[in-house]
């Protein structure tokens, strides 16, 4: 019988939890709406695209698969994950319609990925912590603010429909897509207020979005949990803020092995100290690149837990587990946003700069305004709202290409037809 990990954290000098981010955009293909993964799987059987898609499907299963496998071996794995709402819907579709049942990777069937996740979130719920995100992976600083709540709440609905209200009640943290946040004081205050209204207790951000307090080392900023304090016009809000470990995230994506990871963790423990122990959270895409598709789980993640007896000074917890175990309200440090805000690549230019991006953003803004009038007239609906939210997918502007701008146009045209 499965037993939860014993609460033996007193000797831990540093706490570690890897984090994988997953997203595939919706796409208009051959006159119909699909998820990009489905489109890739339906490509020529011997094509590179089809071959990659099979490994992507395996990547979306891997966290649950390894949580189950390592637990049954007697280990106590820990991981953080976030999936966009549209990707969760696509995985559910491909699990239900049998497509995944006909895909084999390394001789093993992908099968029903959602069913496996349901089992893990019920039977091994302490092994993996989901965070909330936006339904269509919108970039919040470039998305009409009037639609922020719908993006957040639609993700929560998708998650609850797939995994249940009990699993949703354990979703306490929030991943803003591309880790993007506005630095405008009034906008930031409203965003924090909205997250709290929607039930979130903490957010993860990159250090590029935060002021670096004078005298602090990078580990002191990145490897502690802080209060993020935002102020505007005499009002103030705060929410707990986890900070991505930038270097560790890059190394995770490039194939950081277990021994190298432990060495880096011990360095951070010496800089941050042990009261409380530092929290190291590397984040990276969970599917892009050969390392994440072929090597990460068997060569990096699994050895951390299978060889845990070699590094008893390192503890493994999810973020919320760490918060519940170590944080004392009166001892939490404070951080503030830069006036520019930021993202995982630094600034907002990849989603906002250039004529092509501005044209897409202007068309989305107009569509959002028009739908707001539809709602005021009492003719709003879930179908219409989701059609709008899909148009706000970050991929439509991130790449700055004619192809993705055309995708945005097709989705906006589709949404307008639904709104009429």
C-alpha–C-alpha distance, residues 171 and 200, integer Å: 8
Q: What is the pLDDT of residues 128-176, one digit of tens each?
A: 999 999 999 999 999 999 999 999 999 999 999 999 999 999 999 999 9
> Which of residues 319 and 2 earns the better pLDDT score?
319
Residue 123 pLDDT exceeds 70: yes
pLDDT at 10: 53
C-alpha–C-alpha distance, residues 135 and 8, integer Å: 37
Quote the mean pLDDT of the chain.
Answer: 95
DSSP 8-state assignment for residue 292: I
* Helix runs in 327-401, H state only: 349-352, 355-376, 382-391, 395-398
Burial class (CB in 10 A: 0-12, 13-18, 19+), 290: exposed
Taking residues 281-285, what's their average pLDDT? 96
Residue 96 pLDDT exceeds 50: yes
Residue 6 pLDDT exceeds 70: no
Q: What is the pLDDT of residues 202-213, one digit of tens each?
A: 999 999 999 999
Taking residues 219-223, what's their average pLDDT? 96
DSSP 8-state assignment for residue 147: G
Q: What is the pLDDT of residues 45-84, one digit of tens each?
A: 889 999 999 999 999 999 999 999 999 999 999 999 999 9
C-alpha–C-alpha distance, residues 6 and 25, integer Å: 40
pLDDT at 202: 98
Residue 317 pLDDT exceeds 80: yes
Taking residues 119-126, what's their average pLDDT? 97
Q: Please compute, for residue 55, the number of CA atoms within 13 A of its CA located in the half-sphere on the CB side.
A: 16
Q: What is the pTM of this model?
A: 0.95
* Selection from 169, 152, 168 nearest residue 160 by Cα: 168
pLDDT at 293: 83
pLDDT at 396: 97
C-alpha–C-alpha distance, residues 262 and 321, integer Å: 20
pLDDT at 292: 85
Taking residues 374-388, what's their average pLDDT? 97
Residue 7 pLDDT exceeds 60: no
């Amino acid at each position: 019988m499965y037993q939860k990990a014993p609460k033996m954290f007193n000797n831990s000098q540093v706490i570690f939890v890897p984090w994988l981010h997953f997203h595939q955009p919706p796409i208009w293909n051959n006159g119909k709406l699909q998820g990009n993964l489905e489109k890739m799987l339906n490509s020529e059987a011997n094509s590179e695209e089809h071959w990659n898609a099979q490994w992507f499907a395996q990547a979306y299963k891997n966290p649950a698969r390894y949580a189950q496998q390592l637990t049954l071996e007697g280990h106590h794995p820990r991981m953080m994950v976030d999936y966009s709402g549209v990707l969760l819907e696509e995985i559910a579709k491909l699990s239900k319609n049998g497509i995944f049942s006909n895909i084999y990777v390394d001789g093993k069937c992908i099968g029903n990925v959602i069913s496996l996740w349901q089992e893990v979130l019920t039977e091994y719920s302490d092994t993996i912590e989901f965070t909330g995100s936006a339904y269509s992976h919108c970039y919040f600083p470039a998305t009409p603010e009037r639609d922020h709540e719908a993006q957040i709440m639609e993700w929560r609905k998708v998650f609850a429909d797939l995994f249940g209200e009990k699993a949703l009640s354990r979703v306490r943290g929030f991943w803003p897509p591309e880790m993007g946040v506005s630095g405008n004081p009034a906008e930031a205050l409203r965003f924090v207020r909205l997250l709290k209204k929607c039930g979130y207790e903490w957010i993860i951000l990159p250090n590029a979005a935060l002021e670096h307090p004078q005298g602090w080392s990078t580990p002191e900023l990145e490897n502690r949990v802080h209060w993020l304090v935002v102020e505007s016009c005499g009002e103030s809000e705060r929410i707990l803020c986890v900070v991505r470990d930038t270097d560790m995230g890059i190394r995770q994506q490039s194939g950081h092995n277990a021994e190298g990871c432990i060495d880096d963790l011990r360095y951070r423990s010496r800089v941050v100290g042990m009261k409380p122990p530092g929290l190291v959270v590397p984040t990276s895409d969970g599917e892009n690149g050969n390392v994440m598709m072929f090597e990460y789980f068997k060569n990096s993640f699994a050895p951390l837990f299978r060889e845990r007896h070699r590094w008893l000074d390192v503890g493994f917890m999810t973020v919320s587990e760490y918060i519940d175990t170590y944080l004392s309200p009166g001892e939490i440090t404070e951080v503030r946003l830069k006036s520019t805000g930021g993202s995982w690549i630094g600034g907002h230019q990849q989603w906002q700069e250039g004529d092509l991006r501005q044209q897409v953003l202007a068309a989305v803004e107009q569509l959002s305004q028009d739908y707001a009038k539809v709602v005021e007239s009492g003719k709003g609906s879930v179908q219409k709202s989701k059609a709008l939210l899909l148009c706000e997918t970050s991929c439509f502007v991130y790449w700055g290409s004619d192809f993705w701008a055309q995708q945005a146009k097709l989705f906006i045209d589709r949404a307008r037809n639904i709104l009429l």
